[in-house]
């Protein structure tokens, strides 16, 4: 027995030596590490896993070209993953590992409820964090930025477009889940529809444990909506909601923060989604740039059977912003990049130059706002049909009043309630 225990201990030592001292793929080169602390499993995995696909395209392009030139040095970029399952306590474990052990200089996260748990630690260590939820922005989270998604602000623009393009649609049912992300979507959607003169006839959040959507959709359809908004419902929830709406014979305009068409069209006919309104085009859209189109082509070649969604490019787009800041700062250090970005009047966003906004509602101008594309589904594909401006929308004091009343009603995180 003693000899067996000894052999086991020797093997543990040898394996730990191999793991610790195995030559890196970037041996002898300068490396900057970025943390990817997001749900790769669990109910929110569809808002994490596709993001790694886009990130892999970005990293391949940078590293295959020899690295990222910053301040007279060339860095290879390494992404260090941690699956937080969308759970705050696990996100904090991930943040501690990525910062203290892996020495990452920036963090990519989904956001939502985990931000409240993670941000005190990341703020203490001055680690810049890119999230996809603008309502995470708060005065005590100076290093938290939303530079890609603009959620949930674009719900205002979706409603404005629907009122213009579908004047016959006068009543809306909003069906989204009872968590921080879902409630934010409901609050901003309600404000958008009310400001557009569309009556909100249903906006009762459902529990995360829900599996049977028949009674929920039946209750919503009893209000005779012309529009169904699924707010920011998780992709698997969207598919089940639309399945019920279709099976109950409803027809009208559908809208949501984003789509997972593979999940939805597994439940409903593809043409049932034609006319659906959102704000995320496929990146082969001719109204986008050649850079977008090249990303689409590279992604399709690497993941030919996968479904494209906004998550596919959003974490990658945050890396574009981070790289812009690093080059401007001449440094990859977190605080240097942060200062370089925040000192810029405009910063390149995936949809054009963006400006910093957010102070009047969140207390900090840490949301990068571009002119936002509006998409409709045509022949089972989202295409750009218009553009909307959050800053223009907010110039209308009556609209802003409606927004603030809705945020107060739903107890959203704002500095002015």
The mean-pLDDT minimum among 210-214, 260-264, 295-299, 306-310 falls in: 260-264
214 and 324 part of one domain: no
The mean-pLDDT minimum among 20-29, 223-232, 322-331 falls in: 20-29
**Confidence class for position 218, pLDDT limits 50, 70, 90:** very high
3-state secondary structure 34-90: EEEEECCCCCCHHHCHHHHHHHHHHHHHHHHCCCEEECCEEEEEEEEEEECCCCHHH
Q: What is the mean pLDDT of residues 81-87?
A: 96
Q: What is the CATH number of the domain that holds 240?
A: 3.40.50.2300
The CA-atom distances, in angstroms, between 334 and each of 97, 126, 197, 263 are 17, 7, 45, 38
Q: Is the dihedral of CA 198, 200, 201, 202 positive or negative?
A: positive
Q: Is residue 19 part of a domain?
A: no
Q: Is residue 31 part of a domain?
A: yes
Torsion of CA 316, 148, 254, 46, to 10 degrees: 40
Q: Is residue 302 part of a domain?
A: no
Q: Convert the pLDDT of each residue in 43-58 to its tens digit.
A: 889 889 999 999 999 9
* E strands present in 84-145: 106-108, 128-130, 144-145
126 and 160 part of one domain: no
Q: Is residue 263 part of a domain?
A: yes
C-alpha 221/C-alpha 284 separation (Å) is 35
57 and 158 part of one domain: no
Q: Is residue 416 part of a domain?
A: no
252 and 164 part of one domain: yes
Which domain does 333 fall in, by range?
Answer: 26-151+309-344
Q: Quick one: which of 189, 242, 183, 184 has its CA closest to 216?
A: 242
331 and 187 part of one domain: no
Residue 10: how many CA atoms within 13 Å on its side-chain side? 6
Do 321 and 347 form a contact (C-beta atoms < 8 A)? yes
Q: Convert the pLDDT of each residue in 369-380 to its tens digit.
A: 999 999 999 988
Domain count, the chain: 2
The model scores a pTM over 0.85: yes
C-alpha 96/C-alpha 179 separation (Å) is 25
Q: Is the dihedral of CA 127, 130, 136, 138 positive or negative?
A: positive
Q: Is residue 165 part of a domain?
A: yes
For 387, the enclosing helix (H) or strand (E) is: strand 381-388
C-alpha 254/C-alpha 236 separation (Å) is 16
Q: Convert the pLDDT of each residue in 138-155 to its tens digit.
A: 999 999 999 999 999 999
**DSSP SS3 for 190:** helix
């Amino acid at each position: 027995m003693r000899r067996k225990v000894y052999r086991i201990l020797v093997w543990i030592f040898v394996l730990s030596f191999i793991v610790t001292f195995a030559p890196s793929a970037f041996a002898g080169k300068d490396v900057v590490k970025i943390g990817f602390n997001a749900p790769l499993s669990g109910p929110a995995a569809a808002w994490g896993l596709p993001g790694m696909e886009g990130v892999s395209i970005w990293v391949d392009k940078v590293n295959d070209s020899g690295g990222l030139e910053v301040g007279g040095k060339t860095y290879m970029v390494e992404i260090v993953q941690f699956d937080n399952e969308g759970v705050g306590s696990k996100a904090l474990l991930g943040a501690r590992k990525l910062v203290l052990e892996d020495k990452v200089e920036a963090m990519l996260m989904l956001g939502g409820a985990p931000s409240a748990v993670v941000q005190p630690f990341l703020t203490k260590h001055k680690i810049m964090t890119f999230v996809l939820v603008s309502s995470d922005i708060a005065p005590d989270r100076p290093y938290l930025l939303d530079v890609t998604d603009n959620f949930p602000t674009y719900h205002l623009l979706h409603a404005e477009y629907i009122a213009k393009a579908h004047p016959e649609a006068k009543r809306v049912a909003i069906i989204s889940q009872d968590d921080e992300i879902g409630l934010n979507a409901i609050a901003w959607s309600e404000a958008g529809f009310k400001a557009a003169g569309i009556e909100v006839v249903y906006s009762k959040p459902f529990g995360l444990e829900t599996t049977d959507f028949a009674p929920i959709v039946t209750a919503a359809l009893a209000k005779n909506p012309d529009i169904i908004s699924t707010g920011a419902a998780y992709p698997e929830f969207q598919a089940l909601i639309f399945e019920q709406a279709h099976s109950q014979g409803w027809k009208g305009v559908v809208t949501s923060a984003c789509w997972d068409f593979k999940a939805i069209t597994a439940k409903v006919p593809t043409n049932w989604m034609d006319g659906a309104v959102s704000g995320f085009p496929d990146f082969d859209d001719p109204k986008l740039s050649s850079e977008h189109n090249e990303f689409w082509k590279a992604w399709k070649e690497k993941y030919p059977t996968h479904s494209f969604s906004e998550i596919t490019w959003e974490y990658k787009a945050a890396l574009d912003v981070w790289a812009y800041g690093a080059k401007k700062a001449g440094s990859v250090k977190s605080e240097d990049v942060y200062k370089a970005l925040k000192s810029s009047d405009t910063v390149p966003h995936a949809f054009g130059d963006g400006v910093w906004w957010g102070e009047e509602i969140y207390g900090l101008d840490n949301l990068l706002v571009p002119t936002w594309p509006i998409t409709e589904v045509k022949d089972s594909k989202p295409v750009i049909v218009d553009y909307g401006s959050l800053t223009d929308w907010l110039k209308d004091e009556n609209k802003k009043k409606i927004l603030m009343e809705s945020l107060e009603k739903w107890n959203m995180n704002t500095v002015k309630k």
